[in-house]
Structure 1
Amino acid sequence: MTETAITHNSSARRMAKTVLNGFNSYFADYLNATLAAKARFEKADWQAVQQANVMRLELYKEKVHQTVNFLAIVTNRDIRNLDLWRQAKSAYSQLVSNFPNFEIAETFFNSVFADVHDHDKIDDDIIYVLSSQLLVQPSSEYSITIRYQGNDCRDLFRRLLQESEFSLPFEDLEDDLDGIVENFIAQHGEHHRRGTQPLSIDLLESVFYRGKAAYMVGRVSVDGVGHPMILAILNNERGSCYVDTALFSQDDMSVVFSFARNHFMVDAPLPYQYAHFLKQLMPNKRDYEIYNALGFPKHAKTEFYRELVQHLRSSDDQFIIAPGIKGMVMTVFTLPSYNIVFKIIKDKFAPPKEVTHEIVRDRYRLVSRHDRIGRMADTQEFDNLVFPLDRFSPELLAELQKVAASQIVIDGDRLIIRHLYTERYMTPLNIYLESASETEQRNAIEEYGNCIKQLSAANIFPGDMPLKNFGVTRHGRVVFYDYDEIELLTDCNFRHIPVPRNEEDEMRAGTWYTVGPQDIFPEEFRLFFSGRPKAREFFEEMHSDLYQVEFWQGLQQKIRSGYVVDVFPYRRAKRFKRHQDDDRLQIYSS
């Protein structure tokens, strides 16, 4: 072995240890931030909840930068040397062998490498395109679940609540149990009321916190078959808590863990075991969606990329221009066999758009850090993502070269896209309405209005609200996905359209009055329904308050006074009846 190789091995080992130390520091701080979620919930400190979400996202980036700085100290070698990184990866793989959270640690290694190098140097002998270890089914869940067994379902749920981690007392435990048992029996049969059949509950030991709610998540085994269980706990802000609803279906659980909602705060020191447990209850969820829900968006990105690579290897269809009306800021394409859309910022924007590339990117960053309250699709941001060139249809390739030439590079048989976003594909609302029944149209328009109201109550004004900018999920929810014109609601200036001063004003082609960049005229929202009289009729029946300046100004006042919106991931009808007359909680419920 040459002297240079020996030196490289020594430097590589120090680099590997430094990266692992950086990861351990990150993960410890991450868990501490998550452990504090219980105190924030019990204190009803909702402002701190929002701040903690942003802090936890920023924590990862800070630790990666800090690790890169240490790398330059622990070795006098050039840390951009790819050969050195190959050896460092080999050493790192040995260090994380049988590590309890090795998959997250490997992603951290990738992030440190990416902070030093351009993303187009992706190669499995340098970073973890694939994991160094197989993720196998856990032999036991003893370390993450608590088991409750018995014949009497009411007694089981009583024990579960009494032994929960909450320091707050339950407002009325018997009322809570009435609601839980009724929902359980409605889902699994009246015979369970008699308590003649054995039941078991495997409860994840850590509570899932998000927004203003806490969720106890587990699996109920009925007749030997495991079913989802979620108990949604709310703080009444009067010194006690209560169960707002109990959910026992896969669909309800899937909505709670929706891609349109923020990450949970959950103490999951063994992320894969939690992900495996949840995947059993939600088999239609992809691995990256579950890791994202658990609060590991960077690893979710790793899982997404691996899944995309695997799908491309096992399919042969071509990427095409996404169906629907083309946007003025983004060009969008998709793969028919894969329900994801890929969005690229165009080189030039058609009038009246006045944004820049950096403004658009800032708005997507805002969404990633804001409470999406179930109404904004999650996005993954990629730089220098490589695709097989022959998978792009001629029409799509021509479109990309025409409107986003600066963002693509053709390198032999590869197409490299410098910067793009990915989102879950949804049916655009305008397309959905074309074939929807009258009942479906009504429900969709009710959802559309609810979406606008809930986003606005969370201090997000969608800006551009045509129907084409909203999508319909498989559960019938309407979600906003076009972020190039969003802004904080509190930055907007809502105005009445001025009355013309004279006939000359009335006949003028343009507006006779001045319009500032932040001015919004709610009376103009009727224009979003051009050509759709039935949709407008439904909207005006259910959401005509959105045409009123006073509605928006009142909402701004509430937000400025510290109001944090109450929105929960289940229908209002699912909430236990005794809380339905709580005006504070049902203003913006789904």
Structure 2
Amino acid sequence: MTNHSPTARRIAKTILNGFDAYFADYQNITLGAKARFETASWQAAHEANKERIDLYKTKVNQVLKLVHSVTSKDTSQLELWRDARATYAQLIANHSNYEIAETFFNSVFCSQFRHADIHDKNIFVKPSRAPDDKPLRDYSIYISYSGRDGLEYMIEDILKDFSFSAPWENMQRDIENICALLREAPLAKLENEKQLRVDMLESVFYRNKAAYLVGRMIFNGEVVPIILPCLNNGRGGIFVDTLLHSNDSASIIFSFTRSYFMVDAPIPSRFVRFLSTIMPLKEKSELYNSIGFHKHGKTEFYRHILAHMKVSNDQFVIAPGIKGMVMSVFTLPSYPVVFKVIKDRFDRPKTVTEEIVREKYKFVSRSDRVGRMADTQEYTNFIFYRNRFSEELLRELQEVAPSKLVINEKWVIIRHLYVERRMEPLNLYLQTSNEEETREAMEEYGNAIKQLAAANIFPGDMLLKNFGVTRHGRVVFYDYDELCPLTECNFRKIPEAQTPEQELADKPWYTVDEADVFPEEFRLFFSGNPTARSAFERLHSDLYDYRYWRRLQDRIRAGHVESAFPYRRKWRFHRRAPAIARNK
């Protein structure tokens, strides 16, 4: 073992102790999810989610102060941190969560050096070891079930093993609903149900008002997801709401548009590997994000795009679509994300400031995104190869955001940017969609607005260009500079004109305050697309009525939390009593 200075060892131990303390506090907040679900404490669940997100930065700041206190040496010396990094790598060599511990070290370093000097000599740009090169702690994360005694008995065993403190509303009915759907779809071609094996993760995934039992079915050489969303009926009873059994439905449950799960994952990497077997198209970064380790998700994303850059040669270009007034957006055609840079000056009529925009993005990260807002990762001093930038993109960035750029012959360093999953802008999608696709997109667009509003989020600028269409056909909001809590808006009806002059005036003849919103004006969002407007008005004309919005505000202020299902309502089971007795 290489000898390291006593100071470097103290710094490394201080950071590792801080990481372990953070992880313990994180787990304790997470462990409370079960009781919050069983008691239908939805507001408490929302607050716990924000508390857990904020915990990371709080702990990093505390640890940096401790680092300063354990040595009298100058902690701004890079050589000292390089020595500490090498020591830290030795300390975490057998740590079951070494990869997340690396990210924690990186965060402390970046807090010290304000995200400068990003290099693998100083932090863990690359992982300290190859995945799985050492045996993990003997910790089982799933239970295996066999179909040898019959499908009904297997499902019964699963539900009993996952019993909550609250009783099942009607377990027999739920068992029959699950078995009927399994036999109708994923198991239709299985000749002998005794050959079926099901692996269920021991930990329950909690989010919003649901608890998800997550596993995989293995038969005929296939691996198929099995996800059972469970709900609380509000009267002390739990029921299985549906069964999801496709890769696409699993992917939507774990979507980048949804809040992070609360799941007891003592070794997150093992959960990520398990989830990868039922969602093989999901990147590790997305899966870490989905189970709440979004800071490590950033690390995984950064490593993944660096690896992609080595095997691709296309250039970063300006993202297609109408250019934003607040953000300059670019993308790499071969990689499914967009990079968003806040402009130095905003185009008229935008009046927000950069500080306000940053606060809006922070607000989104701590909100219930209900499947309708893209998760966004924030980066400081993101390094790109200059030769991968198109000249048009470089000119654009130098014109609109010069203060965010550091450019030399080899590198383009962007001081601050956001990364989001790339989607097709809704306005571009509608240019080529047929009548049925337009109708479905407008239904999704209206549903997105309504579901965001029910979560106390008003998009502000609801132009079609500010929404995107995912590969699953869902419409998602991604332009956050004007959003606000719905309860801060004042929804009004446009007053009747009293004179012909008022009726023909170019500007409103009535007073308009900053918080005023006139839903009748939403029709303007469809200018130039009468087909889309007609479809929207057939499906969502209630959004033009100020009374709709005021009623929703009243419900939110009364403490009501709406249900947001990450699956179609028509997929939900009927909750009538079972029609037939289970075969013994």
> How far 1:509 moved relative to its partner?
2.0
> How far 1:502 moved relative to its partner?
1.3
How far, CA to CA, are the matches of 2:438 and 2:370 in structure 1?
A: 23
Give the letter for the 1:47 counterpart: Q
SS of equivalent to 1:246: coil
232 and 496 in structure 1: CA distance in 2 versus 1, 3 angstrom threshold: same
Is 1:490 the counterpart of 2:487? The answer is yes
Verify the 8 A CA contact 2:146 2:194 in the aligned structure 1.
no
> How far 1:39 moved relative to its partner?
0.4
Which residue of structure 2 aligns with residue 235 of structure 1? 232
Verify the 8 A CA contact 2:374 2:477 in the aligned structure 1.
yes
Which residue of structure 2 aligns with residue 170 of structure 1? 168
Is 1:511 the counterpart of 2:508? The answer is yes
Pick aligned residue for 2:203 from 203, 206, 211: 206
How far, CA to CA, are the matches of 1:472 and 1:253 in structure 2?
A: 18
How far, CA to CA, are the matches of 2:188 and 2:6 in structure 1?
A: 68
How far, CA to CA, are the matches of 1:276 and 1:411 in structure 2?
A: 40
Pick aligned residue for 2:142 from 136, 142, 145: 145
141 and 500 in structure 1: CA distance in 2 versus 1, 3 angstrom threshold: farther
Which residue of structure 2 aligns with residue 158 of structure 1? 156
56 and 579 in structure 1: CA distance in 2 versus 1, 3 angstrom threshold: farther
Is 1:339 the counterpart of 2:343? The answer is no
> How far 1:141 moved relative to its partner?
8.3
Give the letter for the 1:442 counterpart: R
How far, CA to CA, are the matches of 1:141 and 1:91 in structure 2?
A: 26
Q: Deviation per CA, 1:312-340, whole angstroms, max 9, x where unpaired?
A: 11111110000001111111000010110
243 and 538 in structure 1: CA distance in 2 versus 1, 3 angstrom threshold: same
How far, CA to CA, are the matches of 1:139 and 1:177 in structure 2?
A: 35
How far, CA to CA, are the matches of 2:255 and 2:68 in structure 1?
A: 41
> How far 1:153 moved relative to its partner?
1.5
Verify the 8 A CA contact 1:263 1:292 in the aligned structure 2.
yes
Is 1:33 the counterpart of 2:29? The answer is yes
Verify the 8 A CA contact 2:96 2:136 in the aligned structure 1.
no
Q: Deviation per CA, 1:109-139, whole angstroms, max 9, x where unpaired?
A: 0001011002131010110001101112878
> How many residues get paired?
574
Is 1:481 the counterpart of 2:478? The answer is yes
Which residue of structure 1 aligns with residue 452 of structure 2? 455
Is 1:128 the counterpart of 2:98? The answer is no
Which residue of structure 2 aligns with residue 284 of structure 1? 281
Which residue of structure 2 aligns with residue 16 of structure 1? 12
Q: Which moved more, 1:24-33 or 1:164-173?
A: 164-173
How far, CA to CA, are the matches of 2:560 and 2:409 in structure 1?
A: 55
How far, CA to CA, are the matches of 1:427 and 1:182 in structure 2?
A: 37
| 1:529-540 pair list within 5 angstroms | 529-540=526-537
Give the letter for the 1:406 counterpart: S
Pick aligned residue for 1:552 from 544, 549, 553: 549
SS of equivalent to 2:575: helix
> How far 1:236 moved relative to its partner?
0.4
Verify the 8 A CA contact 1:235 1:241 in the aligned structure 2.
yes
Q: Deviation per CA, 1:210-252, whole angstroms, max 9, x where unpaired?
A: 0000000011112232211100000001011000001111111
Is 1:408 the counterpart of 2:412? The answer is no
Verify the 8 A CA contact 1:216 1:230 in the aligned structure 2.
yes
Which residue of structure 2 aligns with residue 584 of structure 1? none
SS of equivalent to 2:224: strand
Q: Which moved more, 1:42-51 or 1:570-579?
A: 570-579
Pick aligned residue for 2:518 from 517, 521, 542: 521
Which residue of structure 2 aligns with residue 301 of structure 1? 298
Pick aligned residue for 2:433 from 423, 430, 436: 436
| 1:48-67 pair list within 5 angstroms | 48-67=44-63
> How far 1:281 moved relative to its partner?
1.1
Verify the 8 A CA contact 1:153 1:195 in the aligned structure 2.
no
How far, CA to CA, are the matches of 1:140 and 1:10 in structure 2?
A: 29
Verify the 8 A CA contact 2:173 2:576 in the aligned structure 1.
no
How far, CA to CA, are the matches of 2:49 and 2:543 in structure 1?
A: 30
Q: Deviation per CA, 1:188-223, whole angstroms, max 9, x where unpaired?
A: 24465x865321111101000000000000111122
Verify the 8 A CA contact 1:244 1:579 in the aligned structure 2.
no
SS of equivalent to 1:188: coil
Which residue of structure 2 aligns with residue 263 of structure 1? 260
Q: Deviation per CA, 1:385-420, whole angstroms, max 9, x where unpaired?
A: 111111110111111111111111113311111110
Pick aligned residue for 2:185 from 184, 187, 193: 187
Which residue of structure 2 aligns with residue 570 of structure 1? 567
How far, CA to CA, are the matches of 1:78 and 1:69 in structure 2?
A: 13
Is 1:115 the counterpart of 2:136? The answer is no
Verify the 8 A CA contact 1:120 1:385 in the aligned structure 2.
no
How far, CA to CA, are the matches of 1:480 and 1:122 in structure 2?
A: 32
Verify the 8 A CA contact 2:147 2:193 in the aligned structure 1.
no
TM-score, scaled to structure 2: 0.96
Cα RMSD, aligned residues only: 1.6
SS of equivalent to 2:159: helix
Which residue of structure 2 aligns with residue 587 of structure 1? none
Verify the 8 A CA contact 1:545 1:551 in the aligned structure 2.
yes
Verify the 8 A CA contact 1:183 1:247 in the aligned structure 2.
no
Verify the 8 A CA contact 1:459 1:489 in the aligned structure 2.
yes
Verify the 8 A CA contact 2:151 2:193 in the aligned structure 1.
no
448 and 141 in structure 1: CA distance in 2 versus 1, 3 angstrom threshold: farther
246 and 196 in structure 1: CA distance in 2 versus 1, 3 angstrom threshold: closer
Which residue of structure 1 aligns with residue 379 of structure 2? 382
Verify the 8 A CA contact 1:377 1:424 in the aligned structure 2.
yes
Structure 2: runs of 5+ lacking an equivalent = 578-584
Superposition misfits of 4+ residues, deviation over 4 angstroms: 137-142
Give the letter for the 2:558 counterpart: S
TM-score, scaled to structure 1: 0.95
